[in-house]
Structure 1
């Protein structure tokens, strides 16, 4: 999934000639804390935050005086993971997309990035989510998928995290095509995987499942 495929079609950019009052109004209207500001020639000038606007001298001040430093942006051809990394690094609710010449192409919202992650994890398809931990020395994706498929289930999506420094364990998140995971969990644990969380085995609404999964990821 490339960044260009996740650009939000309707959230506008600010113009450098806009006032603080105009900028705050647009932030409130679109429920974001950051918006890009663009020059008359379409080049990205920077990203303005709600906090910086609130600290401005007055509501009629132009926002160009508040733009400092090199504009933060992501190119359109990189993977959406890179956009997520940039958002986390700079604590942004939106991130501008710009080409190599600095021309502004659009923006990504944090919600849109999460939406793409949810698609990658097949959250819209019926099935349960399992969170596992395993010693990094024993982790093998091929073996994991083989164990699952030998028990009449399929892994619709797999995500793994770097080993935890304190335990040396890899954390793995699986989306399966079945809701009853009792047999799969038993076999996984027999093969050295510790099942630390399970979601969606009951007839939950998708929204509730996703919200619970997000809370787990934020632990």
Structure 2
């Protein structure tokens, strides 16, 4: 998924716009930043705080002191790069530009979150299993083989390094809600399971809540 596929229909600001208009647009679209564009060229990313600092919000944006804040992403960049920029610059929107520097539109944080959810199969039904391994022992081919041997499809695989131990935490999103057999197989291959979210846990939680309710009613 590339940046240009995530463009949101949010209007850009113009240097001649008053600060009050910028605030109205930000309020309307529930954003705290908007790009300023002139002649189809991206000029700056205007923040709500910058406008609130103006002595007169009815003056034009071009009268503001330019802080040089111009984060942007190329239109054919992968959305992982957009995710990094959102994190590094604490953004709520990210302007997209072409190779020639023409303004294409923006990515909003909500749009990026939707893309991330789709990319990681968050919306698909299925259980989640996580375990830790030494980086040298991480083998995706073996993990996939174990899943396939249990008739389980891996919808997404994510890893993160634990800074305290240096180990990799591997998180598997599967197409199955029943994961007892898969967990047993991983344990047989000496994988240390950290947590499992599956159908059995959901049923157990419902039963526990039901029992608590019955106990409360009988008091």
Relative to the length of structure 1, the TM-score reads 0.85
| Cα 1:24/1:131, change in 2 over 3 Å | farther
For the residue of structure 2 that corresponds to 1:157, the secondary structure is strand
Deviation sequence 1:131-175 (CA, Å, 0-9, x none):
3322112111111111111112110111222x3232111122211
- Structure with max Cα Rg: 2
Helix, strand or coil at the partner of 1:5: helix
Runs of 4+ in 1 over 4 A off after TM superposition: none
In the other structure, the counterpart of 2:2 is: 2
CA distance in 1, matches of 2:190, 2:52: 53
**Deviations 1:50-108 (CA, angstroms, capped at 9, x unpaired):** 12222222211222224321521000111000011011110001100011332110000
Name the residue aligned to 2:24: 25
Change (3 A) 1:129 1:61: farther
Tell me the equivalent position of 1:216. Answer: none
State the secondary structure of the residue aligned to 1:127: coil
**Distance in 1 between residues matched to 2:30 and 2:197, nearest whole Å:** 30
CA positional deviation for 1:180: 1.1
> Contact 1:48–1:67 (CA<8 Å) still a contact in 2?
no
- 5+ residue gaps, structure 1, are 204-219
Name the structure 1 match of 2:164.
166
RMSD of aligned C-alpha atoms?
Answer: 1.7
For the 8 Å contact 2:134–2:166, the answer to whether it is kept is: yes
Counterpart CA distance in 2 for 1:187 and 1:171 is 18
Change (3 A) 1:195 1:15: farther
Matches within 5 A, 1:108-187: 108-161=107-160, 163-187=161-185
Partner of 1:53: 51
CA spacing shift, 1:103–1:200, aligned 2, 3 Å: farther
Q: Given the superposition, is the C-alpha separation of residues 160 and 22 from structure 1 closer, same or farther in structure 2, using an over 3 Å criterion? A: same
TM-score normalised over the length of structure 2: 0.85
Which secondary structure state, in structure 2, belongs to the residue aligned with residue 106 of structure 1?
A: strand
Conserved? CA contact 2:45–2:69, under 8 Å: no
Q: Corresponding residue for 2:216?
A: none
Q: Establish whether residue 44 from structure 1 lines up as the match of residue 63 from structure 2.
A: no
Looking at structure 2, the residues matched to 140 and 189 of structure 1 have their Cα atoms a distance apart, in angstroms, of 15
In the alignment, which residue of structure 2 is the partner of 1:102? 101
